[in-house]
Amino acid sequence: QGVLEGVKLPLTPTSLRSSMAGIPWRIFRSYSSASTKEKANRNGTCERTELLEVLKARAKQLQGSNVPEVTVSKVELAPLDNDKYQEAVAPGPKEKQPVPRAWGDGLARSSTWAKKLQKEMYIQQLKVEQGLPTAASQLALEGQAKLEVKADTKAKPKAKSTKTPKIPKTKAAAAWSQSSSGPHSKPRVVEVKEGAELKRPQRVPKDKSNQQVLQQTILSNLECFLFLQQPEEAERYLLLCHSSPVKRKVLNVGAYNIVMRSWARKGCLNRIERLFSMLKPAGLRPSLDSYAVALECMGRNQSPPKAILRYLEQMNSDGFHVDELFQKCLFEADEKDMVLWAIRTVQPNYQLPLPPSPQICKSSLLQDFYSRETMVSYPKLDFSVKELQECFQEQLEMELKNTITIESVEASKPLTPEATKARELLGALRSQWHAAVLQALQNSKRSMARPKRLSKYSILYPYLCLLPDEEYVDIMLQVVNDLSPQGESLAVLARELGSKVYDRYIIQRKLRSCQLEKVQEIYEKYIQLLAKDNQPKQYLPREYWEKLVAEAGFGPSLNLKNCSWPCVLLMRLGMHMLELLVKTVKVPRNILNHRLESKPIPVLYHVYSFYSTWQVGLIKPHPILSQLVANAAETTLTFNSSAMPMLCPPLPWTSPHFGAFVLNDTKLMRFMDETIHHQLLLEQCPLVNLHPVLDALNQLGNCAWKINQPVLDIIISIFNDKGDEKLDIPPPLSEAPKPPTAPGHSSTWSKSLKHELFLCKKKTAEMHSLRMDALYKLSIANYVRDKVFWFPHNMDFRGRTYPCPPYFNHLGNDVTRAILLFAEGRPLGPRGLDWLKIHLINLTGLKKRNALQERLEYANEIMEDILDSADHPLTGRKWWMATDEPWQALACCMEIAKASRSPDPAAYISHFPVHQDGSCNGLQHYAALGRDLSGAASVNLVPCGLPQDVYSAVAQQV
């Protein structure tokens, strides 16, 4: 994957400072390299309190018994610490680092450094106590801690004494200090800070977003215990939250319902009654879900009618009707059946309520479309029911595997002895890494689960138990395999690791809730609407799916209860997994040079780099690993199944929570992390008002595609022959500009030499990124070259639609669009060939201001060049290469050649897509809304002999 320069994750400084537990917001900003001089200057401008934090972290690192410190190209490299994550972004100390003689040399174990840092920390402590504000602390994720440490506090001016107060080892203190490294005691300043925090009274976070994060974290923790079938742990955690003034303020009835659900599955009604009794003192009322859980439990253990009747009467007194249980509640597995059994115990003749009649969108703009009188049958795909069933099974198998490994299109070079040896070494190393990471993960979980010291309990433990250990190891090692030599943002990698765990957890929930079985059952009937060998049905895909769900009646709901994890949780989980990788994945130092000492050194390093005054964290691979991977020249690529086109028609969107992939979780609307305003508006919108949006996305998703194989083969041949930047085929890194020879030490380099080296490095990084992007697209296209596939769609907050697969889709560049064809063809008709010729001239960029008839005449004049391009694309006159969109132009030349040479061009079946775009689409909307005739004419909304250009018209007036 390409180098992610300029990555900006969508989180605001305010929200991150207050809610990212241990991860300040600066970690998410862009980064760039900086010279040693710039680094020193920037350190001087950093806040004193931040320097205090990094000095503390640095002292811990130096106090460790064997902590390697490596300097490569003037960039500081250090192992990832587990205490807090400030050191991923905080400035490092100004001391000069020793330059190692070889990879992996140079141990930072000087006792004078430690003394110097202790002195600097003491000075910084005095400055802090004299009135400087302390850095914002974080909301504690550790739910087992009984005391809450409030963030956003300030140190008291003129503290009584700088001596360390004697503080008892409370659970809160241990929660913050649970991961100190080395056998030495903690620096005094940290203990002073903890003491001050422990003395402060508990307060509810003022920021509403903080409360939401804390509430979401509590619900996520309880959901984990529910999934792990640990009702005792769930109730214990709920009681801890209930006894905490801070957490009790954010507890809602949903938290109690989750714990009651875990007991309902065990049939423990007395536990549920106890939780019911806790709601009123907490200022909460039972919800409809609360009664559904109680009835499920009574149905499961076949409670007497008297007990069931008591709950039904209480439910009725709270304003709920029994029918609402089946109309508004979501059920998993056999929960619905258990509730129905309980109700029929006291009401034997009770029948499930009839599904509500389908609501019809009342928009005046779409009145004719949704009118039952004019409804027509949905267009059929050119597939039989059996073929679509086979496609569905193939797609399901891919999603169940989570990832898919495909062959790369890069020409496999002759397998040299060096490549063979490198592959053998990599294979052996990966086997060792797998065992080492697995052992480290299991040790980490054992240490978290020890009941000896409750303060050591990490809230991450249940999240590390949701999947089999092997799956966590596979997720972590995939990071090592995919990491580019330039490294990756620490925050991006942590978020990616946490998200992958979450995605697999959601799939496991769908499997356990029996949702997949119901989806399979309904999909088998749904494809009858799309298959060619079935009777036409007058339904839209969304309507037909909803009809089939209503007819299914029993079984689990197709929507899961909300269980999203907060960003802070994903980051902390990812950070822990990265820490395990950095600490355990090692390689022999002499693996490429046997003259060196045989000593294991880390494969991954935590690197500091700069962007403006911000110091951010990167994870970089050791040069040894990069060299091994380059020598091995492996020819496979691994993708998440959600990054691939679907091999069957997507599930229709029926709500903001259901649609697209079979198992992979997909959001209807894309939104930035922690930016939930638009998502909340979407939740509040009546579903009937979303029907036009859902139907539009379903229509786009049901369009089948296939690969234009002749064009793909030509592109791959150029890609493997050093590329061609003029044709938008990125060249390999072997064609990158060679940096000039830099004599002596970097301090003696001239400014122009440094700038030239910087430009070479930047160009190399850009070439690598573009090459990888093209490699991914072409490899995916080559994988599906003989298949028919579909692109599920979703939208952004503006209503603009996008294909869900990110790498290869029809909204890509010229290369991607040229290799895509519609899977279903249509006869060109009497004027179809003329429109293909006009489209070709549009792709050339010529005749932009000419009438359509003039463009058609020009196409007929150059017909000889068009046919030559189609017949001899790489050896002929190469007319197509001089166009604005060369690859689409070549594909169009080939289509025109086939159509014009067919016996009857009008009957020729064409699969060729023609991309069209509006003229200044935003101005078109303004002109239409304002009934602006002159504006409409300038953006081609009214008939005109020549195409209009609004930019030229504005330029003339200005």
Is it the case that residue 420 has pLDDT exceeding 70?
yes
pLDDT above 90 for 951 = no
Q: Is 620 helix (H, G, I), strand (E, B) or coil?
A: strand
User: Nearest to residue 50, comparing CAs of 25, 72, 69, 80?
Assistant: 25
Location of structure tokens 């938008």: 728
**Closest to 809 in 3D by CA, of 913, 713, 725, 890:** 913
pLDDT at res. 119:
57
CA 378 to CA 536: how far, in whole Å? 7
- What percentage of the chain exceeds 90 in pLDDT? 44
What is the structure's pLDDT at 160?
Answer: 38
Phi, psi (5° rounding) for residue 296? -60, -45
Q: Is the pLDDT of residue 248 over 90?
A: no
Token readout for 832 is 């179809």
- Bridge pairing between strands 789-790 and 826-827: unpaired
> Beta strands 488-489 and 586-588: pairing type?
unpaired
End-to-end distance of the chain based on CA atoms, in angstroms?
A: 45
Residue 744: phi and psi, rounded to 5, are 65, -160
Residue 271 confidence (pLDDT) above 80 = yes
In the prediction, which pLDDT does 661 show? Answer: 95
CB 218 within 8 A of CB 234: no
Given CA atoms 776, 777, 781, 784 in this order, what sign does their dihedral have? positive
> 614-621 and 403-407 as β-strands: parallel, antiparallel, unpaired?
unpaired
Looking up tokens 């801890």 gives 240
Q: What gap in Å lies between CA 13 and CA 598, rounded to an integer?
A: 45
What angle separates helix 231-243 from helix 269-279, to the nearest 10 degrees?
A: 20
The SS3 call for residue 761 is helix
Among 75-84, 315-324, 742-751, 794-803, the range scoring the smallest mean pLDDT is 75-84
Instruction: Give CA–CA dist 95/93, Å, rounded.
Output: 6
pLDDT of 363 > 60? The answer is: yes
Residue 293 — pLDDT band, cuts 50, 70, 90?
very high
Q: What is the pTM of this model?
A: 0.76
Residue with tokens 């903690």: 186
- The rounded Cα 706 to chain-centroid distance in angstroms is 27
Burial-class residue 578 by CB neighbours within 10 Å (0-12, 13-18, 19+).
buried
DSSP letters, 13-41, are HHHHHHHSTT--GGGGS--B---HHHHHH
Query: Is the pLDDT reported for residue 469 higher than 60?
Result: yes
Confidence (pLDDT) at 675: 67
Q: By CB neighbour count within 10 A (0-12 exposed, 13-18 middle, 19+ buried), where does 699 fall?
A: middle
Give the residue among 161, 158, 142, 139 at the shortest CA–CA distance from 150.
139
Q: Are strands 604-611 and 75-78 parallel, antiparallel or unpaired?
A: antiparallel
Q: DSSP letter for 225, please.
A: H
* pLDDT (mean) for 530-545: 84
Instruction: In whole angstroms, give the CA distance from residue 688 to residue 690.
Output: 5
Sign of the alpha-carbon dihedral angle for 407, 409, 414, 419: negative
The C-alpha atoms of residue 471 and residue 477 are separated, in whole angstroms, by 10
880: three-class secondary structure by DSSP: helix
Q: What is the pLDDT of residue 373?
A: 62
Q: By the 8 A CB rule, do 218 and 255 touch?
A: yes
- Cβ atoms of residues 224 and 466 within 8 Å: yes
Tell me, what's the pLDDT at 922? 86
pLDDT range class, residue 874, cuts 50, 70, 90: very high
For 822, list phi and psi in degrees, rounded to 5: -70, 135
Please report, to the nearest 10 degrees, the dihedral formed by the alpha carbons of residues 303, 307, 311, 314 taken in order.
180
| Residue in the structure block whose two tokens are 């029911």 | 385
Q: Report the run of H or E that residue 372 belongs to, with start and end.
A: none
Give the mean model confidence (pLDDT) for residues 255-274: 93
Name the strand (E) or helix (H) holding 482: helix 469-482
Is the pLDDT higher at 83 or at 910?
910
Six token digits for residue 486: 């330039």
pLDDT in tens, 813-844: 999 999 999 999 999 999 999 999 999 999 99
- Give me the half-sphere count of Cα atoms (radius 13 Å) on the Cβ side of residue 700: 21
What distance in Å separates the CA atoms of residue 613 and residue 468, rounded to the nearest whole number?
42
Please tell me the distance from the alpha carbon of residue 178 to that of residue 456, in angstroms, as a whole number.
6
pLDDT band at 207 (very low <50, low <70, confident <90, very high): low
Cβ(614)–Cβ(39) below 8 Å: no
Helix H segments across 228-287? 231-243, 245-250, 253-264, 269-279
Banded model confidence at residue 372, pLDDT cuts 50, 70, 90: low
> Residue 206: which pLDDT band, with cuts at 50, 70 and 90?
low
Per-residue pLDDT band at 910 (split at 50, 70, 90): very high
Q: Name the residue with tokens 């999909």.
A: 523
Q: For the ranges 271-275, 612-616, 951-955, which has the lowest average pLDDT?
A: 612-616
Q: Please, which pLDDT band fits residue 642 given cuts at 50, 70 and 90?
A: very high
Asked if pLDDT for residue 97 goes beyond 50, the answer is: no
Per-residue pLDDT for 167 more than 50?
no
Answer whether residue 255 shows pLDDT above 90. Answer: yes
Backbone angles phi, psi at 198, to 5 degrees: -70, -25
Strand partners, 655: 658
Provide the phi-psi class of 416: left if phi over 0, else alpha when psi is between -120 and 50, else beta. Answer: beta
Average pLDDT over residues 569-594: 90
Query: Which of these, 127, 5, 113, lies nearest to 60 by C-alpha position?
Result: 113
CB 74 within 8 A of CB 35: yes
pLDDT at 375 (0 to 100): 63
What is the per-residue pLDDT for 374? 59
pLDDT for 246 equals 86
pLDDT attached to residue 954: 86
Which pLDDT value is given to residue 484?
84
Q: Which helix (H) or strand (E) holds 68?
A: none
**pLDDT over threshold 50, residue 544:** yes
Which residue do the tokens 């003039």 mark?
A: 854
CB-based contact 95:108 (threshold 8 Å):
no
Q: At 780, is the pLDDT very low, low, confident or very high (cuts 50, 70, 90)?
A: very high
Alpha carbon 956 to its chain's center: 46
Rounded CA separation 647/383 (Å): 13
For 494-508, what is the mean pLDDT? 93
**φ, ψ dihedrals at 269, nearest 5°:** -70, -35
How long is the chain? 958
pLDDT at 486: 82
pLDDT confidence tier of residue 26, bands split at 50, 70 and 90: very low
Poorest-confidence range of 113-127, 342-356, 584-598? 113-127
Distance from C-alpha of 879 to C-alpha of 871, rounded to nearest angstrom: 12
Separation CA 23–CA 9 (nearest Å): 13
Higher-pLDDT residue of 408, 167: 408
Mean pLDDT of all residues belonging to the chain: 78
Which residue did the predictor score with more confidence, 306 or 104? 306
Helix, strand, coil shares, percent, the chain, to 5: 50, 10, 40
pLDDT over 70 at 473, yes or no: yes
Q: Which residue has the higher pLDDT, 638 or 188?
A: 638
Query: What 3-state class would DSSP assign to 636?
Result: strand
pLDDT class of 498 with cuts at 50, 70, 90: very high
C-alpha neighbours within 13 Å on the C-beta side of residue 120: 22
Contacts of 251 (CB under 8 A, 6+ apart): 215, 218, 238, 241, 242, 282, 284
- Closest-CA residue to 140 (of 415, 390, 457, 381): 457
* The two structure tokens encoding residue 495: 């978020």
DSSP E strand boundaries for 490-599: 586-588
Q: In the chain, how many H helices and how many E strands?
A: 36, 18
Q: 186: pLDDT confidence band, cut at 50, 70 and 90?
A: very low
Q: What pLDDT was estimated at residue 536?
A: 67
Average pLDDT over residues 469-486: 91
**How far is 696 from 701, CA to CA, in rounded Å?**
9
Say what the pLDDT of residue 13 is: 31
CB 260 within 8 A of CB 290: yes
